[in-house]
Amino acid sequence: MSDHQELLDIVNEDNEVLHQATRGEAHERGLLHRCVLAQLVNSQGEWTLVRQAADRQDAGQWVLPWAGT
């Protein structure tokens, strides 16, 4: 199954599950869904950036993991 076909819980503003949709549909339609994000900062205060994979939103770009990618 491709990443865009992964089923996600679609939630409302109270985090109540309304239904499920594929990741592709959730992103295409702007549906609110759960995700896990992280920020890595070393002891010098430098942030870690992530280069998005070719099959991800913002493919090939450097993004901060916690900035909603």
Q: How do residues 34-64 score in pLDDT, each as one tens digit?
A: 876 677 888 998 888 878 788 777 778 877 7
62 with 43, same domain: the answer is: yes
In degrees, to the nearest 5, what angle opens at C-alpha 40 toward C-alphas 37 and 68? 30
69 with 41, same domain: the answer is: yes
2 with 23, same domain: the answer is: yes
23 with 47, same domain: the answer is: no
Q: Is the pTM of this model over 0.95?
A: no
25 with 43, same domain: the answer is: no
41 with 27, same domain: the answer is: no
First to last CA, the chain: 21
Per the structure, the complete domain to which residue 49 belongs is given by 36-69
61 with 44, same domain: the answer is: yes
pLDDT at 30: 93
